[in-house]
Amino acid sequence: MRIFDPHIHMTSRTTNDYEAMYAAGVRALVEPAFWLGQPRTNVGSFLDYFDSLVGWERFRAAQFGIRHHATIALNPKEANDPRCREVLSEIPRYLLKDGVVAVGEVGYDSMTPEEDEVFAQQMQMALDAELPVLVHTPHRDKLAGTRRTLDVVRESGVPAEMVLVDHLNETNVELVLESGAWAGFSIYPDTKMDPDRMVSILSEYGLDRMIVNSAADWGRSDPLKTLAAGKAMLAAGFSEDDVDRVLWRNPVEFYAQSNNLILDPVPGFQPGEPPAAGVEFEGSSVLRGPRK
């Protein structure tokens, strides 16, 4: 099974996770910029984080044979803090960097006027940078939040096929598919969505524009939930080709719209061997190993 995890926060994960993910078939992933749990108090805190997403974490993933990409945005939760909103003027330059494949996560948390404004501004940035957008749907009031999200997408002028609406469930999948956007599902240990519910949704709505992720972060989560979803699909009678479509070809097709995906094997990587210190990447100087 080859796996592209289209939403996982590796900054919060360990090297054991990277090794287990490689063994499970993960060869590429996307790490969206999000909030850190602890609120940020200034713009510099965002910039160091963005730099680590496009630099250090990309290097770290490559040491374990995994191609790392990022999405960059001011997340909906921190859009409500005036100290954080100043980062908006810095975001366009990050959208040009190697390995940045979308604007995200954007969307709604509590659906405040501030969130409206920041969401719309970042949709415009995606339009200007010709990048796809990763949209987070709120945990509370999901259906209303999804409706409003899709309205903002329509008004933005960003084509629906350039938008992935994430953290969906049985209540809002139809709405998203009808809009022409891609539908993302986060498989979590005890909330959101589990592998069996995921299989039921795929049986009901088909595999078109369907994307599955682990969304693993600093909370209780599991970076191998993508594999679990693939196994549950096989057990339910889906073919290997169906699994490949959902776990690899679909997310690749979506993020390839950025023209910034790298999917070939990491040069010099040997599974099971200690990470090489100086793995180098085409077209990037940030990604040389740390000096010891």
Of 87 and 216, the one with the shorter C-beta distance to Zn ion is 216
Instruction: Burial-class residue 259 by CB neighbours within 10 Å (0-12, 13-18, 19+).
Output: exposed
CB of 6 to Zn ion, least distance (A): 11
Of 33 and 287, the one with the shorter C-beta distance to Zn ion is 33
Of 34 and 119, the one with the shorter C-beta distance to Zn ion is 34
CB of 104 to Zn ion, least distance (A): 9
Closest CA to 63 of 22, 25, 115: 22
Residue with smallest beta-carbon separation from Zn ion: 34
Give the helix/strand (H/E) hosting 3: strand 3-5
CB of 131 to Zn ion, least distance (A): 17
Of 34 and 59, the one with the shorter C-beta distance to Zn ion is 34
Of 98 and 217, the one with the shorter C-beta distance to Zn ion is 217
Of 80 and 284, the one with the shorter C-beta distance to Zn ion is 80
CB of 235 to Zn ion, least distance (A): 27
State which of positions 150-189 bind Zn ion (CB under 5 A): none
CB 63 within 8 A of CB 38: no
Neighbouring residues of 113: CB distance < 8 A, sequence distance ≥ 6: none
Report the distance separating Cα 283 and Cα 169, nearest Å. Answer: 39
Size of the site for Zn ion (CB under 5 A): 1
Show the binding pattern over residues 84-123: x = contacts Zn ion (CB under 5 A), - = does not.
----------------------------------------
Report the distance separating Cα 150 and Cα 65, nearest Å. Answer: 36
Helices and strands, counts by H and E, the chain: 12, 8
CB of 289 to Zn ion, least distance (A): 28
Of 130 and 218, the one with the shorter C-beta distance to Zn ion is 218
Show the binding pattern over residues 27-46: x = contacts Zn ion (CB under 5 A), - = does not.
-------x------------
CB of 135 to Zn ion, least distance (A): 11
Give the helix/strand (H/E) hosting 133: strand 133-136
CB of 117 to Zn ion, least distance (A): 21
Report the distance separating Cα 193 and Cα 234, nearest Å. Answer: 18
What is 37-61 written as a DSSP string? SSPP-SHHHHHHHHHHHHTHHHHHH
CB 74 within 8 A of CB 122: yes
CB 176 within 8 A of CB 193: no
Of 118 and 266, the one with the shorter C-beta distance to Zn ion is 118
**Distances, alpha carbon 72 to alpha carbons 93, 179, 183, 259, in Å:** 10, 24, 19, 16
Judged by the rule CB under 5 A, the positions of this chain that interact with Zn ion are 34
